[in-house]
Amino acid sequence: MRYGIIMVGAAAQRAMPDHRSEMVNQLLFGEVVAMKTMEGEWMKVVSFPDHYQGYVMKAHVLEVGEEDPDVILRCCTAHTSGHATAFCVDASLSPISLPIGARLHNCTDGLFSLLGHQWRLSGDFLLRDGAHSRDQLVAFAQRFLNVPYLWGGKTEWGMDCSGFVQVVYRVFGRELPRDAWQQAAVGVEVHHLEEVLPGDLVFFGKKDEKPSHVGIVLKKGAVIHCSEKVKIDPLDAHGILSGTTYTHELRRIRRPL
């Protein structure tokens, strides 16, 4: 199997090899993919470590060979924590605008290396193995307030509920699956809302169905989530309250940290 790395800020991952096809996900700069098949200007890929499948433009992927993807991922030592720009030190490649959550490989003091080039980062980043608190995580999540909802989106220009959660946790060194129902299997169960801690994940949906929505507990009685846009709403044992209406029914609470 051949592997590659996303070399644009955010590559649209589509259900079919067509620009008009549904965007099911976005792959951010530095993400590792398995290169499956080619169809014209498109490539079918599977992302790592969340194993999400879809089509991206071939021009957005640079091949790294047959190296174990886990080895490549271990070279990712930091993630952008604010909007940033990467400048190729030898100026042989154009600058790249990076969204929050971009993977930085072999990053030290704002310099990182990738595919034989050294890059200088202008912007904020967090080391993957740094010590971070729950309060820091929920404060960081609030940077995304008012980002509009975008199906399949994972950037500060548009994101969906599970993409928001995945990016926030990624920056703080915890890899989560892509979809809400998959994220609901991660970590340990919290049985009562009174026991929640900041950063716990709350899942919503219809009874006897897989969770279809997810948010992050800010504090007891408040959740930050992406529905229409990233926003903060009241939370109780029934679910998310918007005005006098419950918009999402609480189904599960999980603690990934």
- Tens of pLDDT along 178-200? 999 999 999 999 999 999 999 99
pLDDT (0 to 100) of residue 129:
73
And the tokens for 5?
Answer: 């790395």
Q: What is the DSSP string of 35-94?
A: EEEEETTEEEEEEETT--EEEEEGGGEEEEES--HHHHHHTEEEEESS-EEEEETTSSS-
Residue 155: the pLDDT is 98
| Catalytic residue from among 225, 226, 238, 248 | 225
Given a contact cutoff of 8 angstroms between Cβ atoms, the answer to whether 80 and 104 are in contact is yes
Backbone angles phi and psi of 171, in degrees to 5:
-60, -30
Burial class (CB in 10 A: 0-12, 13-18, 19+), 21: middle
**For domain 134-255, is the CATH number 3.40.50.150?**
no
CA distance 243 to 150: 23
Average pLDDT, the chain: 94
Q: Both tokens of residue 129?
A: 């193995």
Q: 2.30.30.40, 3.30.43.10, 3.30.1490.190, 3.30.360.10: which CATH number matches 2-71?
A: 2.30.30.40
pLDDT in tens, 47-102: 999 999 999 999 999 998 777 778 787 888 899 999 899 999 998 889 999 999 99
225 catalytic? Reply is: yes
Q: Which of 83, 105, 132, 213 is catalytic?
A: 213
The vertex-70 CA angle with 60 and 83, nearest 5°, equals 45
3-state class (DSSP) for residue 100: coil
pLDDT attached to residue 116:
81
**Secondary structure letter of residue 250 according to DSSP:** E
The question of whether 75 is a catalytic residue gets the answer: no
What is the pLDDT, as a whole number, of residue 191? 96
Q: For the sheet containing 23-28, what is the strand order?
A: 23-28, 10-14, 53-57, 42-48, 32-39, 2-6, 61-65
Q: Identical fold at 2-71 and 134-255? A: no
CB 82 within 8 A of CB 76: no
Report which secondary-structure segment, H or E, holds 183.
helix 180-183
In the chain, where are the structural domains located? 2-71, 75-127, 134-255
Say whether 19 is catalytic.
no
Residue from 76, 83, 107, 161 carrying the catalytic annotation: 161
